[in-house]
Structure 1
């Protein structure tokens, strides 16, 4: 059965990367979450996608230039103007300890090389005993390899925007157990071959019905979607098939 990961939580209906979006994804019945982390000026791990706070909050400027206490004053829920702060990863982990959701953590260190980010995230994963439920991903494959070198027990998965030749060979070479490609970057044939070679495939961000059906049809490992409710509805149709 193809697992459904809620992209930045249930972001189709709630403010992305907020505790509300994560809790609503769980209520909807998602198997897991996908979220993004960055570091504040004073080294706190916070959950936000963009390097700047401008798009998703009431503030302006780079995440790395804010002290944690000042970042918390911003409203990350511009969707309905209800005050909700940018979550700290510790908050999300505390909540994850109350359920069984999987969690894909994307290290947002492609543009800004946050020093010590990998260690901080891994330390928290161990502190909250979430080793078996976390996948660390990044477009920065050096960071993925480094994460594996310091914590081989935690699953890693490189992110891809474009297709690569024989992705299972590359993925095994960097000791990752999964690959997270853009949904349009891998053909059915390549996805199936990758899975047959023991690599999990979790494409992002799959929102259209036709694309969701395609991935359920080939029994893809998982998919990452903004709308877990829609995805679950379509998955049910495939579960009913003989």
Structure 2
């Protein structure tokens, strides 16, 4: 990105996490469009598959939290005649969108022309969802070169990799996760373009090592979910490649401020000493919370992998 003085700076791109979910109901078309209209570089969304084989946009496997409907898991319910009748609890009370609804925007909406999309394939999905994603892409535009320039598949579990190779062999992949050891299982995947790691995971010796190794290998580092200003400043100091945030407008503001400070010399550019970069922007309370949360995730990680392997 070009700074105010015309020099090139390594600053994260802005990715709207489930759209502009700080302001809109998450994973709705209005929220996803609002993130793009708020100058996000990309948007991230989550997918599940209904019982009638439709790829829907939803973070949760059920509808209770977002729609207030406790009718069971999405995978056991048809979209047409059932899920399509639900409306979000948060305004503007929209229905659950389909993946094809969102992909259509990348084909027809002028503001999406130079944007990209992270499709988060949740770990609890059946592996056959990869084929359904491929068919949906083909249905909207039968041009995988077009999609491969705009879509990154977010993959949590290695179980999906053979299906990605079969149905979407050239589509870029990034591993989404919170465990450094497990992330390294993806290093040899030919289409791997990046890691998307939980912020707390990177606040560690192993996390800093992964950032350095990824940078040396040309693998992008994305970070989720980054909402407090202090966390955003941490990512700017680490000079990661992209930040997934519920508030893409706020991150864009802080990013601009950061570039101006670098241009006038009040912000030092730190490439190698990641630890010092972080220590300079975090308070003791935030450091403690990050450390505690990392321990919790580390403890739960093996249980989650057994559940969804």
Give TM-score, length-normalised by structure 1. 0.90
Q: Identify which of 187, 198, 206 aligns with 2:218.
A: 198
Structure (1 or 2) with the larger CA radius of gyration: 2
Q: Does 1:74 align with 2:89?
A: no
Where do 5+ consecutive residues of structure 2 fail to align?
1-10, 264-309
Q: State the partner residue of 1:30.
A: 40
| Alpha-carbon displacement from aligned partner over 1:38-71 (angstroms, at most 9, x marks no partner) | 1111000000010111000132221012111110
**Equivalent residue of 2:51, what SS?**
coil
When the two chains are superposed, the root-mean-square deviation of aligned CA atoms in Å is 1.8
Alpha-carbon distance in 1 for matches of 2:97, 2:43: 14
Task: Report the counterpart of residue 152 of structure 1 in structure 2.
Answer: 169
Write the distance in 2 (CA, Å) between the matches of 1:192 and 1:160. Answer: 17
Match of 1:20 among 27, 30, 34: 30
* Separation of aligned partners in 1, 2:105 and 2:129: 21
Task: Give the equivalent residue in structure 2 for 1:232.
Answer: 252
1:118 corresponding residue in structure 2: 130
For 1:193 and 1:210, the matched residues in 2 are separated by: 25
Moved over 6 A (4+): none
The answer to which of 124-133 and 92-101 deviates more is: 124-133
- 3-state SS in 2 of match to 1:174: coil
Q: How does 1:91-106 map to 2 (within 5 A)?
A: 91-97=101-107, 98=109, 99=112, 100-106=114-120
Shift in Å, 1:112: 4.0
- Report if aligned partners of 2:87, 2:94 keep a CA contact under 8 Å in 1: yes
For 1:47-66, list aligned pairs within 5 A: 47-60=57-70, 61-66=72-77
The structure that is helix-richer by fraction is 2
The answer (yes or no) to whether the contact 1:125–1:131 under 8 Å persists in 2 is: no
> Does residue 186 of structure 2 align to residue 171 of structure 1?
yes
> SS where residue 146 of structure 1 aligns?
helix
Structure 1 residues 226 and 95, CA gap change in structure 2 (3 angstroms) = same
Aligned residue pair count = 236
Shift of 1:141: 2.2
Q: Is 1:41 paired with 2:51?
A: yes
Answer with 139-148 or 5-14: which moved more.
139-148
Counterparts of 1:209 and 1:149 in 2: how far apart (Å)?
A: 41
- Counterpart Cα distance in 2 of 1:90 and 1:146: 20
| Alpha-carbon shift at residue 83 of structure 1 (Å) | 3.2
Q: Which runs of 5+ in 1 are unaligned?
A: none
